[in-house]
Chains A and B, each alone.
Chain A
Amino acid sequence: MVQPVQIEGVAGKLLLERVCMDNVKTDGVLAGESSKEPQASQGAERQSSKKDRNLITRRRFLCLFGLAGAGAAVASHLPNMSAVAADGETGGGPRRLRRWCMVVDLRRCDGCVGLNKPPRCTEACIMSHYVPDGMEWVQVYRTEINAHSGGTYFFPLHCQQCENPPCTNVCPVGATFATPEGPILIDQQRCIGCRMCMAACPYDRRFFNWGEPNQPPQAKAMAYHPETQQPAYKGTVMKCDMCPERGRAGEVPYCVEGCPRGVIYYGDLEEDIATNGREIIKISSYLARNHAYRYKEHLGTQPRVYFIPGYGEDAGRNAYDPRDSRRKELQWPRGT
């Protein structure tokens, strides 16, 4: 375990330095300085944000990221969940704990209306996770920008993976729990189906297998693990798990992979980098420069998902576009 741990630390540092340097070089203006000249720096920001999207290629990023995650990936398919819980604490060496997060750039999300398809993030999630019938772990809502303007925007909503999760607090049997790296997981082999967590979730991001889940044979054949939630069990709760096993393997979650517009960034708050599969961002400055917010911040749930406000303008969407997403046409993989 020691060897990959060291690689990870070094790689992380290297990458961080790299990103920081690139940022300084091209921007000339760091997030902290931008307040001095608001107008000028805004212009610079817009330019720079376009520039730093192309600074590190996806290939390079994944190469470094993958190397970093390689060690952990070995441990990713351990059979029991104590491995999940302990994962961040074992290793002996000075190991950096991932803090997985997501940044959702709503400026680029048009709900896949432009493609005339159901939301691709939801679709990718459903198909790859064998999500049981009717559930949308990541759901693309369309909602009003504000009461007066009347325009709308699309709003992909994952489980917010709160740092102060109301759902895990109320679970009577500890079936849902927060892992040290962030994702909130559910042990469907322990869940008693009381649905208290669903009642407690202020984001309505938990789903229930009301009946026997209708899943394809390959899902049924999988060895159960809380990180994959497969196979699904009748009478238990499921939700978006932020694909921690993919993160460890140096891959991005299915929704990120599926998004044609690069709306969703996935990354590590600890290393302060995230990627949407094509570009890398330095999370802190990206959030600061783009007026990021967290959904229902006032509740104190401390979500790990950040939103950049927008209405799909970067994807060429008009705020008054009356078309809704085609999520009603989503298909679920079924067994029979």
Chain B
Amino acid sequence: MDELVKRHEREDLENKSPSPSDRTKLLGYRDRLERVALEPLAKTGKGFYLVVAVLGAIVLWGLYAYSRQLSSGLAVTGMGNPEARSKVVWGFYIVNFVFFIGISHAGTLISAILRVTNARWRTPVTRMAEFITVVALIIGGSAVIIDMGRPDRVLNMILYGRFQSPLIWDFLAITTYLTGSCIYLFVPLVPDLALVRDRLGSKLSGPRRALYRILSINWHGLPHQWRRLGVALTVMMIVIIPVAVSVHTVVSWIFAMTLRPGWNSTVFGPYFVAGAIFSGTATLIILMVILRKVYHLEEFLTERHFINLGYILAAFCIIMLYFNLQETLVPAYKMADEEPHWFHDIMGGRYSFWYWFYIFGGMLAPALIVLIPRTRKIAGIVLASVLVVIAMWLERYLIVVGTLTIPQTPYEQVSYTPTWVEWSIMAGLFALFSLIVVVFTKLVPVVAVWEMVEQHAEEAGHASVPSVSVGGREPAAAR
């Protein structure tokens, strides 16, 4: 209803010509936005090099650990320890694989779903969300390769791939999603790349200038270009949603397609998808608050954006609580087979601390922080997000390692203790994730400038700036 009223108001405004003062206000906004968005690309401070050096060092350390693993095999990991007894077959790597693939859902939800539903506040956050998606998918994919006993035979997946295996579904889903996400990141980036080319062209070094010239694929903001952009964006934002849902469903099927107690569950698909969006949103909030501070985006990333994302987070806290109830109560009521081991381990046994932290710290507390008006501030929401990210990582750990330590045959207790190699590689993966994001923020504007200008104009009731409407209609300026 509100939407309709607003639309009418907007149409009314469109009929009037904007007053001169409005126009200057609008141009002022645009100038400020462009300045803030392009500043990181033009100027680079010491802080950036310091961050890159630190992250790079961690990545190199992780690479060293991986080289050790390559030469000695997975025997250097906790999975190869005698106390794991060949029973805990997956450890930190697969935990991180699931975790990062989960994080990658930030992009889809925030960007595609909010774009489809035409949520206006989304514009400043879409770009970051799309970054996270692409980078997290790359990191998640590498985690699987790191986990392989024979990384030299990775091509066998293509040469001998069997469509019956959930791993092949995963391989296909993730590569599709990665391709789609790259396109979905790139398409709305084109006008901004052209902006960089036009505004900063003279200030940049030769290779960088060439880079922007090539990447902006001859964009000049012509009417037919806007039209094509609109069509491409509409197609991509609709296509990417089912692809994203399929990705995490298929990841969950790696586990759910087995007969193991704790994995043998029919709710795993939606449970994983919800968890993925949950952790993705939290990661996005954390990244947003950092970039806001570092790149002075306070005017454009306001408390409203954090609160809106916080509401999504809170909603998913509740959805996740519901899924956990479902996932726990149904088997716990029946206590079939080896299930009692699992419930003993998580409710009162060796994983109980982490499990209850996950429930209270990762879902109840964040929901309360967001829902209580007094704590519903940027700091509170960021705290909630940090809790969520930690808790979701732990949840992945409990699902992967916790389940694998349930005895299936009458054997002695097994345990899994990650070694320095696994810790180092995990640190390397997180550092690589941050490093790519940091470098990315130096290459392209961290907010979608043209979308924000367009949205600002719409909100102010102007149609005088180039804009693109969803659905491939001609932009207002070209009409």
Contact = CB atoms under 8 A, between A and B. Distances in A.
Is chain B found bound to chain A in the same assembly?
A: yes
Contacts of B168: 172
Contacts of B161: 172-173
Interface residues of A, number: 42
Contacts of A166: 258-259
Rank and list the top 3 A-B pairs by shortest CB-CB distance, nearest first.
A193-B149, A235-B149, A211-B75
Given A202-B408, A209-B73, A236 B257 contact: no
Given A166-B258, A192-B150, A172 B157 contact: yes
Given A170-B258, A172-B167, A208 B409 contact: no
B408 A199 contact: no
A175 B76 CA distance: 25
A235 B90 CA distance: 13
B147 interface: yes
Interface in A149-190: 155, 157, 166, 169-175, 190
A198 to B, nearest CB: 4
Q: Could you tell me the dominant secondary structure of chain A's interface residues?
A: loop
B188 interface: no
Contact of B149 (A135, A169, A206, A209): A209
B101 to A, nearest CB: 16
A195 B89 contact: yes
Given A173-B162, A194-B149, A212-B73, A202 B259 contact: yes
**Chain B interface residue bracket vs A:** 35 or more
Contact of A171 (B86, B153, B159, B165): B165
B59 to A, nearest CB: 24
A320 interface: no
Interface of A: 134-135, 141-144, 155, 157, 166, 169-175, 190-196, 198-200, 202-204, 206-212, 233-236, 299, 301
A196 B411 contact: no
Contacts of B77: 210
B149 A173 contact: no
A268 B392 CA distance: 51
Most buried by A among B73, B150, B153, B171: B150
Given A170-B167, A172-B165, A204-B408, A211 B259 contact: no
A234 B258 contact: no
Given A192-B148, A210-B77, A210-B149, 16 more contacts: A134-B82, A155-B410, A170-B165, A173-B156, A175-B160, A193-B74, A195-B89, A195-B147, A198-B89, A200-B258, A203-B409, A204-B409, A210-B79, A211-B75, A235-B148, A236-B149
Given A192-B157, A209-B73, A141 B411 contact: yes
A170 B169 CA distance: 11
Contacts of B148: 192-194, 235
